[in-house]
């Protein structure tokens, strides 16, 4: 019996979520090995860069979230049909990563949950990056082709996170892209199954939305 691939990451969405979304959309079986902070302490020394996620397949251990996503994209033809699509997809993925990093920067900043800080970020840095992503998407159904490529799964994970904290922030074309991706049968089934982690990375790390998702934050160093 063939051993299914194994994805190892925390028990929240974070950097592994685009990978989970892609695998769900593909209908590809895999073991979603989720660890808590206590389990991570024992696992961390075994990771080449002291980070997760890790994807194990056919005796190979692939680390670094972008490397995993792009490996799966190449394996399943989701990296673009030609060089024009590959370039557009790479650009979109890097742009989404930059936008997500701005979101991370906001949440890691002291005082980021104060109402005035939330409003300033939503109207400023967040709106600026969402507008740029919307302009790059244009009138296409997906970021680089007439079907999802790996950048679109990355985008869906990011857009879900934006909506969780800033419910009215998405401009219309990005909102439509999010709906289009969420309605894909494999992704809709994944969400409906209850297997999708409820927590975003900032929930357990910064204590955001803990009353909603019931996650215990890690102990202080």
pLDDT digit string, tens, across residues 59-68: 899 999 999 9
Q: Enumerate the domain spans of the chain.
A: 6-76+188-213, 83-182
Higher model confidence: residue 76 or residue 208?
A: 76
Q: According to the model, what pLDDT value does residue 214 have?
A: 34
- Which overall architecture, per CATH, does domain 83-182 show? Up-down Bundle (1.20)
Among positive and negative, which fits the CA dihedral 55, 200, 107, 129?
Answer: positive
Residue 36 CB: number of other CB atoms within 10 A? 14
Q: According to the model, what pLDDT value does residue 36 have?
A: 87
Q: According to the model, what pLDDT value does residue 200 have?
A: 80
Under 8 Å between Cβ of 116 and 123: no
Under 8 Å between Cβ of 106 and 41: no
* Exposed/middle/buried for residue 117 (C-beta within 10 Å: 0-12, 13-18, 19+): middle
Q: Check whether 121 has a pLDDT greater than 80.
A: yes
CA 163 to chain centre: 13
State mean pLDDT over 54-82: 96
3-state SS assignment for residue 66: helix
pLDDT digit string, tens, across residues 130-171: 999 999 999 999 999 999 999 999 999 999 999 988 889 999
- Which overall architecture, per CATH, does domain 6-76+188-213 show? 3-Layer(aba) Sandwich (3.40)
pLDDT digit string, tens, across residues 1-44: 578 999 999 998 999 999 999 999 999 999 999 998 888 889 99
DSSP 60: E
In this prediction, residue 215 has a pLDDT band, given cuts at 50, 70 and 90, of very low
* Helix/strand/coil percentages in the chain, nearest 5: 55, 10, 35
Q: According to the model, what pLDDT value does residue 203 have?
A: 57
């Amino acid at each position: 019996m063939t051993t299914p691939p194994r994805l190892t990451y925390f028990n929240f969405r974070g950097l592994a979520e685009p990978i989970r979304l892609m695998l769900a959309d593909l209908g590809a079986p895999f073991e979603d090995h989720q660890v808590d902070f206590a389990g991570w302490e024992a696992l961390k020394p075994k990771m080449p860069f002291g980070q997760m996620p890790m994807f194990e397949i056919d005796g190979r251990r692939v680390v670094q979230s972008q490397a995993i996503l792009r490996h799966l994209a190449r394996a399943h033809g989701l990296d673009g049909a030609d060089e024009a699509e590959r370039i557009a997809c790479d650009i979109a993925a890097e742009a989404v990563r930059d936008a997500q990093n701005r979101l991370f920067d906001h949440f890691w900043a002291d005082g980021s949950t104060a109402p005035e800080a939330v409003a300033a970020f939503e109207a400023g840095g967040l709106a600026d990056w969402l507008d740029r992503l919307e302009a790059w998407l244009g009138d296409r159904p997906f970021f680089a082709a007439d079907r999802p490529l790996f950048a679109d799964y990355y985008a869906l994970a990011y857009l879900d996170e934006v909506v969780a904290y800033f419910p009215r922030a998405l401009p219309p074309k990005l909102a439509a892209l999010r709906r289009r991706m969420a309605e894909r049968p494999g992704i809709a089934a994944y969400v409906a199954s209850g297997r999708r982690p409820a927590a975003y990375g900032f929930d357990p790390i910064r204590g955001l939305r803990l009353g909603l998702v019931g996650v215990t934050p890690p102990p202080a160093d």
